[in-house]
Amino acid sequence: MHDLHEMAAAARAAYLTLASADASARNRALLAMADALLSEKDMIFAENAVDVRLAQEGRLAAPLLKRLAFGEEKLNSVVQGLRDLAALPDPLGHTTLARELTEGLNLYRVTCPIGVIGVIFESRPDALVQIASLALKSGNAVLLKGGSEAARTNLALCNVLRAAAEASGLPADFAQLLTSREEVSEMLREDDLIDLIIPRGSKAFVRYIMDNSRIPVLGHADGICHVYIDASADPEMALRVAVDSKVQNVSVCNAMETLLIHRAIAPTVLPALNEAFAAAHVSLVGDSETVRIIHCAPASEEDWRTEYLDYRLSIRIVDSLDAAIDHINTYGSHHTDCIVTRDDAAASEFLRRVDSAGVYRNVSTRFADGFVYGFGAEVGIATGKIHARGPMGVEGLTTYKYKLLGSGQTMGDVKAGRISYTHRDLEGTCPI
Amino acid sequence: MHDLHEMAAAARAAYLTLASADASARNRALLAMADALLSEKDMIFAENAVDVRLAQEGRLAAPLLKRLAFGEEKLNSVVQGLRDLAALPDPLGHTTLARELTEGLNLYRVTCPIGVIGVIFESRPDALVQIASLALKSGNAVLLKGGSEAARTNLALCNVLRAAAEASGLPADFAQLLTSREEVSEMLREDDLIDLIIPRGSKAFVRYIMDNSRIPVLGHADGICHVYIDASADPEMALRVAVDSKVQNVSVCNAMETLLIHRAIAPTVLPALNEAFAAAHVSLVGDSETVRIIHCAPASEEDWRTEYLDYRLSIRIVDSLDAAIDHINTYGSHHTDCIVTRDDAAASEFLRRVDSAGVYRNVSTRFADGFVYGFGAEVGIATGKIHARGPMGVEGLTTYKYKLLGSGQTMGDVKAGRISYTHRDLEGTCPI
């Protein structure tokens, strides 16, 4: 029924309109979306009930069913999210560089939307509202592909958001829903119309997308997060941070998967950790040193590379801060890694040399999140290094353009020495 | 002789060392490179003479021979470039966000290098010095593949730079030279070790790289640049800007390829333009309206999509500012496009809605250049929208990490309501 190429072209047209809409129009649309979700909630809940019933019949696992369910609590949460987002500063039109190149020739670098973004996300329908609203706030159009279990809920939510945008004078096609895998494959080929793909999923899934598209990809892939307990850690704090990083929610990308412990402190902290993890039903695997101190199964090389997302943890004892940093840079996924230490020099070294989006001192890895960072929500957590890193809010959905305002200058004048560069930084913002 | 995987691993180790080196060490190395190039110039010129002789025997075209030649003038230019670069501010360690998340838990976003970057560039050996020095300034390691015609010159230059870095206490392996196409193919597969590929070349070449690697690509591809002469343009300025944009250097990516003219002003400006382009030996093709006003061949649909890089120009008459913007967004390459106008509203509309890295008013497109913008030099001109756009200097070679400094906070405390978010912006920079 839909033609993906036409959808992408419509998204491009919507983006070009949105890019010229001022902040108040975009914020009004976000508030209208919040109101519309509330007034259409019975319809949305009814559609979700069908999705949930079909999923139960298909014997979807309990944690996935919980993610799929969309009730009052999740509705209120996304409505509040929309209102918070409307209140955040406009990410567009900021002058981030202002420089006189020569007399009467001024260069401005100004933030602007990226364009058309394809986002592939999991079964959680609240993600659709978060992604679409972050896109609208930042002037982008999105093509959305959610989990097929949530098809009815996603369609209901997307239609409500589209109608609210249109009623606010903005193009409905800023958000369009893909409904099949074939459309995803077609989307990956539309590199002339689509500027960015954000796949949320496993490392294998993100790699599949990268291998099948020349559109830039900002991957939200594995989280193999580490906590390193330094020789000079406060043992009580180390226990608290390590346990929270693992057990507060085991199935999320910012949960700890490997615990590294300095040899000097291992005999002090390991028995208490062993007890705490046993109480939380976490099964442990350890390197040969760990196995000598506590009773647990031996870890294999593969364990260091595994994102368990489960009640399972690998433990390794290291000789030094250097060895901990090397382990993380070798086996980690560049997501979020923490050092527990009282030593400022060790903390500084760790934060500088660990090659990850989030480098933490004395705090649970579970804080790696766009809402926690104050970004309103997140489109994903980028584990690559290009464009955006870590939790991506609206800033990650913007780029910039260079505006150069002249009065007839030519390169011929420069080469002939009639004008020369001043490269003087200017105060103020781009006047047009 | 080289194993590409080992080279990439050595580059990664060099990057991790460089990322911890302070700015003064990196700047000292840049100055040492400038001195070393001067003291080794006879050796470099001798190697270049061999490259040039072989290229002449192989009947390389004259413009390519000119690019290949590396004499006193180019040497002095790259030496000055190195000294200018050493004097530029450090792009690393800037705190770009500082926020208290909750009491005693502070988030800092701090700029840092990207890591290992592969750059594939053309026959100009001075590009090697520019790229390697921009990489070092920004704490990155580079794998370099230049044109095979310049093999001896590139090897000589690279060895001088490596030795100077090592003598300054930094790892020589921050810059390594690839010598074969097979090594390029192997490089494209090292996505665990290499963070970014920058291919400089045609659109087809950039697409080839994108199709054959899952490493992110910042393409320096076609420049199909436009000048649009608005109804309210100053005719004399329009002539000056249009002629300079085309003829000052026809073989560069920021030269104009298509001239758009508002119908109302076409009869006024076209005859003078025709005369000026004829005097500069530029052959013209035009749409049906243009052909009615001046004598020239008809343009085909293909002309609007072609980067001539030659003494050839396509001309189209448009009905409106909207039509000009649509033409550019449809056929352009998102590089650099200019409006000549006295009308502020038209200029504002054009700069906002044209979807290009550079949007200019009343100035030649030839100004799109990293040196001109005051960036010292450029690694390339990015025509995509992700990460960096337009001329890429050292800022384009940086990313950031989030440093989170806590005192034992857990997500459990948040969920239990024992701590709550303050999201208060902080003054100052990251303390460690």
Are B248 and A372 within 8 A, CB to CB?
Answer: no
pLDDT attached to residue B2:
61
Are B364 and A409 within 8 A, CB to CB?
Answer: yes
pLDDT attached to residue A2:
62
Taken in order of first residue, the domains within chain B and their CATH numbers are 4-221+383-397 (3.40.605.10), 225-367 (3.40.309.10)
The pLDDT tens digits for A3-14 are 999 999 999 999
Q: What pLDDT band is residue A409 in, cutting at 50, 70 and 90?
A: very high
Share of chain A above pLDDT 70, in %: 99
Name the percent of chain B in helix, strand, coil, to the closest 5. Answer: 45, 20, 35
Q: How far is A353 from chain B (nearest CA, A)?
A: 7
Mutate to test the interface with A, among B140, B339, B363 (most CBs of A within 10 A): B363
Task: Tell me which chain B residue has its CA closest to the CA of residue A96.
Answer: B96
Strands (E), A26-104: 95-102
Are A105 and B237 within 8 A, CB to CB?
Answer: no
CB atoms within 10 A of CB B297: 12
When pLDDT is averaged across residues A131-137 and rounded to a whole number, the result is: 97
Q: Considering CB atoms only, which of A16, A214, A344 is closest to B329?
A: A16
A·B CB contacts under 8 A: 226
**Comparing C-alpha atoms, which of A267, A319, A275 is closest to residue A292?**
A267
Q: Considering CB atoms only, which of A114, A210, A406 is closest to B360?
A: A406
Distance in angstroms (rounded) separating the CA atoms of residues B92 and B335:
27
Taking 90 as the threshold, does the pLDDT of residue A113 lie above it? yes
Whole-complex ipTM: 0.93
Are A241 and B355 within 8 A, CB to CB?
Answer: no
Taking 90 as the threshold, does the pLDDT of residue A20 lie above it? no
CB B68 within 8 A of CB B121: no
Are B362 and A240 within 8 A, CB to CB?
Answer: no
Edge-first strand listing for the sheet containing B116-120: B175-177, B141-145, B116-120, B196-199
Q: Considering CB atoms only, which of B99, B214, B406 is closest to A362?
A: B406
Task: Tell me which chain A residue has its CA closest to the CA of residue B22.
Answer: A352
CB atoms within 10 A of CB A62: 7
Are B408 and A362 within 8 A, CB to CB?
Answer: yes
**Comparing C-alpha atoms, which of A218, A19, A205, A33 is closest to residue A117?**
A218
When pLDDT is averaged across residues A103-114 and rounded to a whole number, the result is: 97
Q: What angle do CA B360, B366, B369 make, to 5 degrees?
A: 90
**Is the pLDDT higher at A219 or at A261?**
A261
Q: Considering CB atoms only, which of B105, B364, B374 is closest to A423?
A: B374
Are A356 and B401 within 8 A, CB to CB?
Answer: yes
CB A346 within 8 A of CB B392: no
Are A207 and B214 within 8 A, CB to CB?
Answer: yes
CB B114 within 8 A of CB B413: no
**Is the pLDDT higher at A261 or at A375?**
A261
Q: Considering CB atoms only, which of B115, B353, B410 is closest to A16?
A: B353
Edge-first strand listing for the sheet containing A283-286: A297-298, A283-286, A312-318, A256-262, A225-229, A336-340, A358-363, B398-409, B105-113, B95-102, B424-425
Task: Tell me which chain A residue has its CA closest to the CA of residue B98.
Answer: A373
Chain A residues within an 8 Å CB radius of B383? none
Q: Burial-class residue A94 by CB neighbours within 10 Å (0-12, 13-18, 19+).
A: middle
Mutate to test the interface with A, among B214, B252, B322, B398 (most CBs of A within 10 A): B214
pLDDT beneath 50: ranges in chain B: 1
Q: What is the average pLDDT score of chain A?
A: 95
Instruction: List all residues 6 or more positions away from A282 whose beta carbon is below 8 Å from its beta carbon.
Output: A246, A247, A250, A311, A312, A313
The pLDDT tens digits for A234-261 are 999 999 999 999 999 998 899 999 999 9
Chain A residues within an 8 Å CB radius of B415? 248
Chain A residues within an 8 Å CB radius of B412? 244, 248
DSSP class of residue A172 equals: G
Distance in angstroms (rounded) separating the CA atoms of residues B330 and B334:
10
Are A115 and B360 within 8 A, CB to CB?
Answer: no
pLDDT attached to residue A202:
80
pLDDT attached to residue B1:
44
CB B214 within 8 A of CB A211: yes
Chain B residues within an 8 Å CB radius of A234? 408
Task: Tell me which chain A residue has its CA closest to the CA of residue B347.
Answer: A432
CB A396 within 8 A of CB A379: yes
Are A400 and B389 within 8 A, CB to CB?
Answer: yes
Three-state secondary-structure class, residue A87: helix
pLDDT attached to residue A1:
44
Are A403 and B374 within 8 A, CB to CB?
Answer: no
Distance in angstroms (rounded) separating the CA atoms of residues A384 and A66:
29
Q: What is the DSSP string of B51-104?
A: HHHHHHHTT--HHHHHHH---HHHHHHHHHHHHHHHHSPP-SS-EEEEEEEETT
The pLDDT tens digits for B83-142 are 999 999 999 999 999 999 999 999 999 999 999 999 999 878 999 999 999 999 999 999
